[in-house]
Amino acid sequence: MAGYVSDAVIRRLPGYYRHLRELEAAGVTSISSQELGKRMQLTPSQIRQDINCFGGFGRQGYGYNVSELKGHIGEILGLDRLHRMIILGAGSIGTAVAHYPTFSREGFKTIAMFDVATDKIGTRMNDIPVLPMEELEKFLSENHVDIAVLALPAAYAQETMNRLYEGGVRAVWNFAPTDLNHPEDMIAVNVHLSDSLQILSYRIAHRGE
């Protein structure tokens, strides 16, 4: 793999993987950069440049083998190994993440959820146990966790992230509506749902300008 890959290329990788998975499921065995670019609304040269960041996977005149390229991109994304996840917050967002079927198929296995609501503690969501939040440290001491999903109110998110870091978790997927402070050796990806909706609103308002 190349030493430096731009964030723009990294952001496009899941799209490549998704389209190649759909092509594979449809029985397509090979595809050209022009055909793939048309599906993804990218130029053929952009497709080739992106893929060449990680090595040459195509053959001139033959295009790309769909299954092989999907496998390579899956490895680049780390989808060839299991990621053990926990979800902090068993509300609407946490529940949606727990029930999303693609995650488990791609190696993201949720092993526990945590909440403070007594009516949720002790239940199971999609066969995932919901544990009391006060047991988080004990759980982390006894279980390896690769990714923590923060689906909490903003007021509790920073404190919970600090607890996760102390417990050895180094990757967080944050749905709380706030940006969090974290050490340099911790990876945090923020998902602000309202930001995406506001961008859509802007594009509607300025359509045709």
3-state secondary structure the chain: CCCCCCHHHHHHHHHHHHHHHHHHHCCCCEECHHHHHHHHCCCHHHHHHHHHCCCCCEECCCEEEHHHHHHHHHHHCCCCCCEEEEEECCCHHHHHHHHCHHHHHCCEEEEEEEECCCCCCCCEECCEEEEEHHHHHHHHHHCCCCEEEECCCHHHHHHHHHHHHHCCCCEEEECCCCCCCCCCCCEEEECCHHHHHHHHHHHHHCCCC
Angle at 105 between CA 200 and CA 111, to 5 degrees: 95
Whether 89 shows a pLDDT value over 90: the answer reads yes
Of 131, 132, 143, the closest CA to residue 167 belongs to: 143
Of 76, 91, 116, which residue is a domain's last?
76
pLDDT mean across residues, the chain: 92
Of 40, 60, 76, which residue is a domain's last?
76
Q: What is the pLDDT of residue 209?
A: 73
Q: Are residues 121 and 137 in the same domain?
A: yes
Residue of 97 and 5 predicted with greater confidence:
97
Q: Are residues 98 and 182 in the same domain?
A: yes
Distance CA 148, CA 12 (A): 23
Q: Are residues 97 and 63 in the same domain?
A: no
Distance CA 144, CA 138 (A): 11
Distance CA 26, CA 54 (A): 26
Q: What is the pLDDT of residue 53?
A: 85
Of 61, 76, 91, which residue is a domain's last?
76
Residues of the chain with pLDDT > 90: what percent?
78
**CB of 71 closer than 8 Å to CB of 78:** no
CATH number, domain containing residue 133: 3.40.50.720
Prediction pTM value? 0.84
Whether 3 shows a pLDDT value over 60: the answer reads no
Is 183 within the bounds of a domain?
Answer: yes
Mean pLDDT of 31-45: 93
Q: Are residues 176 and 122 in the same domain?
A: yes
Whether 35 shows a pLDDT value over 90: the answer reads yes
**CB of 208 closer than 8 Å to CB of 192:** no
Write out pLDDT tens, residues 95-121: 999 999 889 888 999 999 999 999 999
CATH number, domain containing residue 44: 1.10.10.10
Q: Are residues 71 and 90 in the same domain?
A: no
Is 178 within the bounds of a domain?
Answer: yes
Look up the domain containing 35 and give its range: 7-76
Is 137 within the bounds of a domain?
Answer: yes
Q: What is the pLDDT of residue 14?
A: 94
Q: What is the pLDDT of residue 59?
A: 64
Residue of 177 and 137 predicted with greater confidence:
137
Q: Are residues 90 and 185 in the same domain?
A: yes
Q: Are residues 63 and 99 in the same domain?
A: no
Whether 1 shows a pLDDT value over 50: the answer reads no
Write out pLDDT tens, residues 126-150: 999 999 999 999 999 999 999 999 9
Q: Are residues 39 and 124 in the same domain?
A: no
Q: Are residues 105 and 162 in the same domain?
A: yes
* Structural domains in the chain (count): 2
Q: What is the pLDDT of residue 195?
A: 87
Distance CA 97, CA 112 (A): 12
Q: Are residues 106 and 34 in the same domain?
A: no
Q: Are residues 35 and 133 in the same domain?
A: no
**CB of 85 closer than 8 Å to CB of 113:** no
Is 201 within the bounds of a domain?
Answer: no
Provide the residue type at 14 as one letter: P
Q: What is the pLDDT of residue 170?
A: 97
Angle at 116 between CA 112 and CA 118, to 5 degrees: 100
Q: What is the pLDDT of residue 19?
A: 96
